[in-house]
Structure 1
Amino acid sequence: MKIYDVEGFPNPLRVRVALAEKGALESVSFIAVDVLGGEHRSAAFLAKNPAGAVPVLELDDGTCIAECSAIIEYIDHQFDGPSLLGEEARQRAIIHMLQRRAEFMVLDAVGDYFHHATAGLGPALEVDQHKQWGEKQKHTALNGMSYFDRLLGQHEYVAGETFSCADITLYAGLAFAEYSDIEIPVKHRHLLSWRERIAKRPSLNLA
């Protein structure tokens, strides 16, 4: 198995944490993609993922799987250890719902702000910016933080009392927010406390 990614980018972080949680980091070869040099737009990379985004999982038979949720689902089923997706129907549905909310309410919103309302990855790559949209999405991210703060006031993890892929996605979104100079409001003490606890997990130190 190979994973094409950029170490430190938010979506690749999600996959690396999932692998670390399953004790499977050594089962994968990581191949760095020169995004700043435009490698993700090359014909060779687009053949693996027409969306031109990292990460991409390439299986031994040549099958390429893109999109973090799909890659994490493969990892969760392929390797032993506690499930990141849930053990039964109700739990799986709640985790899926909240993982998706962590994406569009925080991670993706921060990404839109970063790519549209800041210098982003530089003028060579950020060629179609819409600053007003980016600023709007900053507010979406802040509203998302408020939502998850309330949620984490009710239970230990995003989707209940068990760590899941929803926690991984939210953590990556907040890391991206910090990098993009979007601070978690200090009033969100549940969210801040949760982030501090999650940062101490061994998987975050291995990813």
Structure 2
Amino acid sequence: MKIYDVENFPNPLRVRIALAEKNATDKVEFIAVDLLNGEHRTEAFLAKNPLAGVPVLELDDGTYIAECTAITEYIDTTFAGPSLTGIEAKERAVINMMQKRAESMVLDAVASYFHHATDGLGPALETYQNVAWGAKQGEKAHQGFVYFNTVLANSAYVAGEQFTVADITLYAGLVFAGFAQIVIPSELSHLIAWQQKVAQRPSIAK
């Protein structure tokens, strides 16, 4: 198995955390994609993922799997260890729902802010920007912070009492927010405490 990614970028981070949670990091080969020089837009890479995004998982039979939710689902069902995506129907549904909210309300909102309302990855890669849209998405990210602070006031983790892919997505979103200089308001104490707790997990701390 191979994973094409850019280390420390938000979506690759999600997959790397999932692999570490399953003690499977040594089961894959990581191949760095030179995104800053446009490798993700080459014909060779687009054959792997026509949406030009990282990460991409390549299986031993030559199958390419893109999209973090698909990759983490594959990782979770392939390797032993506590489930990250749930087992029972209700559990899986709640985790799926909360993972999607973390993605939409925080991670994707932060990404849109970064790519549209800041210099982003620079003019060579940011070929179109809509500053007003980016600023609006920054506001959406702040609303997401408030929402998840409320959620975490009543549960240990995003989708209940167990660490799941929903937590991984939200954590990656907050890491990205920090990089984009979107500050979590100090009064959102439950969200901040959760972030500090999750940061101490072996899959992340090391």
> What's the TM-score bracket when you normalise by the shorter of the two chains?
over 0.9
Residue 205 (structure 1) shift:
2.7
> How far 1:87 sits from its partner (Å)?
1.6
**Equivalent residue runs for 1:10-25 within 5 Å:** 10-25=10-25
CA distance in 1, matches of 2:40, 2:87: 36
Give the C-alpha shift of residue 133 in structure 1: 0.3
What does the per-residue CA deviation read over 1:162-181, in whole Å, with 9 as the maximum and x for residues that have no partner? 00000000000000000000
Quote the offset at 1:72 in angstroms.
0.2
Please give the residue correspondences for 1:44-63 in structure 2 after superposition, counting only pairs within 5 Å. 44-63=44-63
**Secondary structure at the counterpart of residue 35 of structure 2:** coil
1:76 is aligned to 2:76: yes
Once the two structures are TM-superposed, the CA of residue 125 in structure 1 deviates from its matched residue by 0.3
- Unaligned 5+ segments in structure 1 are none
Query: Structure 1: which amino acid aligns with 2:126?
Result: E
User: What amino acid maps onto 2:61 in structure 1?
Assistant: D
Q: Residues 105-162 of structure 1: CA distance to partner in whole angstroms, max 9, x if unpaired?
A: 0000000000000000000000010000000000000000000000000010000000
Identity level (%): 64
**What SS is found at the alignment partner of 2:162?**
coil
Partner of 1:97: 97
Using the TM superposition, give the Cα deviation of residue 6 of structure 1 relative to its aligned residue in structure 2, in angstroms: 0.2
Q: Distance in 1 between matches of 2:69 and 2:88?
A: 18
Give the structure 1 partner of residue 119 of structure 2: 119
- 1:172 is the counterpart of 2:205: no
Cα distance in 2 between the residues matched to 1:163 and 1:41: 35
TM-score (norm 2): 0.99
Task: Give yes or no for the alignment of 1:139 onto 2:139.
Answer: yes
Aligned equivalents of 1:143, 1:198: Cα separation in 2: 21
- Residue 154 (structure 2) aligns with: 154
Query: Where in structure 2 are there 5+ consecutive unaligned residues?
Result: none
- The match for 2:36 is 36
Instruction: Tell me the C-alpha RMSD between the 2 structures.
Output: 0.4
Which residue is 1:187 aligned to?
A: 187
**What TM-score, normalized by structure 1, do the two folds share?**
0.99
SS for the counterpart of 1:111 is: helix
In the aligned structure 2, how far is the partner of 1:71 from the partner of 1:55? 9
